[in-house]
Amino acid sequence: MAYQEFEKLMEMYPDDVRLVYRALPLISIHPNAKVAAQAAEAAGAQGKFWEMYSALFTKQGDWSGLTSEEFLAWLAAEAETLGLDVDQFSQDTSSEDLQNKIQGEIDYANSIGLGSTPTVLINGRPVSNWQASGIKPIIEVVKIEDSLMKECPPWVIDVEKTYTATITTENGDMTFELYPEYAPLAVNSFVYLAREGFYDGVTFHRVYHDFMAQTGDPTGTGWSGAGYQYREEIVDELTFDDPYMLGVARSQAEATSGSQFFITYVPYPTLNGLYTIFGKLVDGVDVFEMITERDADQNPDAPLGDKILSITITEE
Task: Assess if residue 295 is contained within a domain.
Answer: yes
Pairing of strands 277-283, 245-248: antiparallel
Task: Assess if residue 299 is contained within a domain.
Answer: yes
Percentage, residues of the chain above pLDDT 90: 70
pTM: 0.67
pLDDT at 189: 98
Task: Assess if residue 224 is contained within a domain.
Answer: yes
Whether the predicted pLDDT of 1 surpasses 60: no
Distance CA 202, CA 287 (A): 17
- pLDDT band at 315; cut points 50, 70, 90: very high
Tell me, yes or no, whether 17 and 77 share the same domain. Answer: yes
Nearest to 204 by CA among 212, 214, 196: 214
| DSSP tag of 234 | -
Task: Assess if residue 154 is contained within a domain.
Answer: no
| Domain around 64 | 2-146
Nearest to 37 by CA among 53, 59, 48: 53
- pLDDT band at 300; cut points 50, 70, 90: low
Q: What is the mean pLDDT of residues 65-94?
A: 96
Q: Which of 75-79, 105-109, 190-194, 294-298 has the lowest mean pLDDT?
A: 294-298
- pLDDT band at 2; cut points 50, 70, 90: low
- pLDDT band at 5; cut points 50, 70, 90: confident
Task: Assess if residue 10 is contained within a domain.
Answer: yes
Residue 188's φ and ψ, nearest 5 degrees, are: -60, -45
Q: What is the mean pLDDT of residues 242-271?
A: 96
Residue 144, classified by CB atoms within 10 Å of its CB into exposed (0-12), middle (13-18) or buried (19+), is middle
Quote the number of domains for the chain. 2
Tell me, yes or no, whether 107 and 168 share the same domain. Answer: no
pLDDT at 123: 73
The helix or strand, by DSSP H or E, that contains position 168, with its residue range, turns out to be: strand 163-169
pLDDT at 283: 98
